[in-house]
Structure 1
Amino acid sequence: MLEKESEFTIHPITVLQDNIVWVWVHNCNAVVVDPSISRPVEKWLLDKNLSLEAILQTHHHDDHIGGTQKLIKRWPNAKVIAAKKELKRIPFQTFSVDDNDIFYLMDSKIKVIEVHGHTNNHLAFYVSNGNTKYNILFPGDTLFGGGCGRLLEGTPSQMFESLYKLNSLPENTKIYSAHEYTENNLKWALTLKSNDISIIERLKIVHKQRQRGIPSLPSTISEERKTNLFLRAKNVEEFTILRRHKDSWKC
């Protein structure tokens, strides 16, 4: 399934257990986001006769960078864009960025947003293009459909601040998260908000999508504001309680 974005498309490649590698295509070029493994991505690009222009790396975990080095062997001119602070853990990066940096790819402006919490030095990439009706966010493992990332290196206050940053983006921003967790997250949310109509209705839609093998993503900032309990948390204390509850919850 190709998600049309005016003059470009974004395609999900599902790999491993629940990872999604997003491939953003414009004309004959492609940008790959967090390639867990290389083979299905390389095959997809070659089948479409596409040239790899760049790889966006949100953080250093192997299920996000595991395929990068093989891809850049096949396309040696492709940029590997990652956090300058992660030179040790992503040493093969060729285009290093910091918080609030702006760069351009495929006729679009991209802003770097530092979103600590899941890991230190985690990045989100915010894509804006004047020819589209909405903007695009690649949040990695910071923001999921109905959820957020586990706190593996960061603190609750860091993640709360990171989610606040993302929640401040325009409501029509489309969110291309790196994992298919939406159905599980919404089931958890219903254990706390059993009468919440927005969560109930979204879960029905997502369940049907997943039964048909369709990704539940992308979502939007607007949709997450209505159904994501972590975005709805009013303060760090409430967020901390929710994160601990989710960490101990069994589906």
Structure 2
Amino acid sequence: MSDGAFDVGRGSRGRAVVVWTQGCDGPGRCLVQSVALTGGRPRTIARLPDGARSPVAIDGTSLVYVADAAGCNELRLLTLPGGPDSSLGRGTCGSVLQVDVDGSFVAAAVSTEPPGDEDSFPSEAWLSDVRNGGVRIAQVEDAGYSGPDQITQVMLDRGALFTTRLGDSGDQLVRIPVNGGAATRTRVAGSSPAVVARDAGTTYVIDAVKEGRRSALLQYRLDTGR
């Protein structure tokens, strides 16, 4: 996984797979690699055009990737195995940190450029409904100099976009209904928790306890607590 970011999703054959990019951060061809979650040999499932880079995300035959467009990142959707390849667009100009795709919805966590000479470091969550086209800004935070309010993750689950916002005393999980409605915010309990995944109504958290000397993987439910 030379480019670092990866995604776990449902592959085109219906199996759980891990996907990542290779060669996108250098002069070589940008490849998307896939391997079954149960193991096996990685295989190339897509060759992305010039200007493409990590991260990527997969759901069935839908592969979301990031492309550079005039110095700004935009979201693109490639239908596997060979196209079509279409642009979803972007919110404001920024660098995409992480993406997710679930059915017709695509989301991205983005670090944006400070506007003008303002003392601001915006962090955004983008949301796109592939059926309607375009990208809207679902959440925006001012991350500040040290980034305590940066949006670090986006997760689509059960008709909602979940985002992770860094905090001084643990991550905050924000739930945003994809079809409209008010956002809700929940502080994840624990000594030093970090949200790592959201699936089928459960949030999975790594809790580093005893000053980082021991870690535990926890399941955390918003309605009933951990």
Give the alignment's TM-score, normalised by structure 1: 0.33
Q: Which has the higher strand share?
A: 2
RCO (CA 8 Å, sep 6+): is it higher in 1 or 2?
A: 1
